[in-house]
Amino acid sequence: MTSRRRLVTGLTLAGAATLLGFQAQRAAVTPIDPVIAGFQKTTVASVADAVDQVCNRRGFLSHDMRPYIAGKVVGRARTSIAKPAPPDKATPTLAVKSSVEMIEAAKPGEVGVIVMEGSLDVAGIGGLMATAAKARGMAGVLVDGSVRDIPEIRGLGLPVYARGASPATAVSRYAAIAYDVEVTCAGVKIKPGDIIVAGEDGVVAVPKDQAAAVLKRAQEIDERETAMVPFIKQFQSLTKAIQKFNRI
């Protein structure tokens, strides 16, 4: 190998090493949202109680918002809304336009919130949309409406919470209105960026501007309940535990 070729090769290898080092360093310093990380360790019930106490309003969604594809979900909300429409306004493109745009704009770890106004009998998400959400790295999807293609979505491993299951398509029935707007989902107002915490107990929406305070209170509630369990076992009395910890 000539001196010139050795020099070029050396520079090439050095450049590659520098690039790899930069990429590794960038990956290593990718920031983790500490608020999201904190909510991932809390219980859904404690978060619901914390929203009651901190925000003085309900944060829990209606009891029928249930996990049709199970899995704990914690992440910031991305929203979309659709309304009933005549068939000429509910074409395959227009029926799901906002939901598709919301999914394609989503960042990894975010949670889709899809509102189908006026009916729980129409599916707001099916296998194709779920595949796109999974490919985008979304943490899960909530549907104020129904879900379909459940076996297919279960195979994807994408948690989906919905108020029902139905094979009915939105095409010829619904038209998209907007995405990334405030919506009312299962009885609770949700804004883009609010934090969704969902599990077997149900779903809670945490207002983004009060998220840190809600997290702190939820952690305090979890810690208190953790201390109550051995106390109840020791004294065999829930009454004494309530008196001591002022908690039930």
Q: For 190-209, how does the pLDDT look when each residue is reduced to its tens digit (9 = 90+)? A: 999 999 999 999 999 999 99
Q: Give residue 220's pLDDT.
A: 93
Note the pLDDT tens digit of each residue in 45-94. 999 999 999 999 999 999 999 999 999 999 999 999 999 999 999 999 99
Specify which residues 187 forms β-bridges with: none
Q: Give residue 223's pLDDT.
A: 84
Domain boundaries, the chain: 1-30, 34-208, 214-245
Could you tell me the two tokens for 6? 């050795």
For domain 34-208, which CATH number applies: 3.10.20.30, 3.40.50.300, 3.50.30.40, 1.10.3720.10? Answer: 3.50.30.40
User: Which helix (DSSP H) or strand (DSSP E) does residue 151 occupy?
Assistant: helix 150-156
d(CA 229, CA 238) in angstroms, rounded, equals: 9
Q: Using alpha carbons, select from 248, 231, 214 the residue that is nearest to residue 60.
A: 214
d(CA 88, CA 71) in angstroms, rounded, equals: 37
Q: Which residues of the chain have pLDDT under 70?
A: 1-31, 226-228, 230-248
How many C-alpha atoms does 147 have within 13 Å on its Cβ side? Answer: 30
For the entire predicted model, the pTM comes to 0.82
In whole numbers, what is the pLDDT of the chain averaged over residues?
A: 87
